[in-house]
Amino acid sequence: MDTLHSLVKFRSNLITCLENLSAEDSINSAVDQLGQVMSKNPEIVNFTTHDKLIQSITRYKDILPTLKNIEEYNHTIIQDIEERIDTTADQIELNFIDELSFQVFQLDLSISQLILDSIQKYADWSYPGLRLGCRYVGQNTVNEHREKDNNLSILFSNHMVAFDPLYFCDVNDTLISQTTEHFNDLYKNRIRKYVTGDLSILPENQFGFVFCWWVLNFYDISSLETYLKNVYNLLRPGGTFMFSYNNSDIFESARLVDMNFMSHVPYRHLVKICSNIGFEIIRNHDIVNSDPLIQIISWVEIKKPGILSTIKLQQVLGKIQSNN
């Protein structure tokens, strides 16, 4: 049986090959060049060679419809491969275990910084922010205390403190505590914690930014679609959802599906899902990572249509006093 990553590699190689076969460009160039020869020599008329050049240009143009048909046929070949890829992925029985959530892997410092910069770009006290999932997200120095040494996840939290208020949501209260326990008591009291997997209990149409890292990498396409619909309801118009996933349109990421480590979520499907829900894809990233296991880090930033706005004039500052 074909492996998923071998099929994805085949698809990628074929797409690259077809893109490089620019026969239509060559023909259009030939037509242009022959036309220029004739235009530069207008005095040559009623001449056999002149007439033959016109016929040559016409024959080149006659080839273009045939090339279009070939391109359309080649597209059906790509579709056949993609159907085979999706069928193969469906036959892989995913059986994730809790330990996979804390898999030791190395995330390049440059990628870590790019993620943090992306979060910082959206951080704004004018809007509530939400972090969905606080699990282990990789570290820059691998050691035996990986559950405790989760510095990058703490940095994610630190870069979101500008949001007012800031929400944390996870099915595991311990995971939330591990990424918030370093805050002082004053700020801890301001954090909104939700220990649940049910996003419907969070306030709707409120959040300016939602961040989810190393969670949806383990969701199948159907579950991911449901999750995105729920997040769409949480965002206010103009709000952004930034999340990581396993782009199995890429050979290295498809290999992780074969290894039963992550789910099959090709970008080609993600685009359709986001469009059907109503999201706009702002940008997507597929960045090479030096870790031998996690070789590609993929994430997208998608936006709920509309203009982000608020009636806030300043951050809320106040003291709650008892009536007694």
- CATH of range 98-303; options 3.30.413.10, 3.10.450.50, 3.40.50.150, 2.60.40.10: 3.40.50.150
Residue position matching structure tokens 């071998």: 6
d(CA 60, CA 54): 10
- What backbone torsions phi and psi does residue 167 show, to the nearest 5 degrees? -105, 145
Range scoring the smallest mean pLDDT among 37-41, 135-139, 294-298: 135-139
Closest CA to 216 of 205, 228, 229, 198: 228
Q: What average pLDDT does range 271-287 have in this prediction?
A: 98
pLDDT digits (tens, 9 = 90+) for 257-267: 999 889 999 99
At 224, list the tokens: 């991911």
pLDDT digits (tens, 9 = 90+) for 132-177: 998 777 654 444 444 444 588 899 999 999 999 999 999 999 989 9
At 276, list the tokens: 């059907």
Kindly list the domain boundaries of the chain, sorted by start residue: 4-90, 98-303
Q: Is the pLDDT of residue 324 over 60?
A: no
**Sheet containing strand 192-195, strands side by side:** 192-195, 166-170, 129-132, 207-212, 235-245, 296-303, 280-288
d(CA 162, CA 157): 10
The pLDDT, as a whole number, for residue 288 is 98
d(CA 207, CA 222): 24
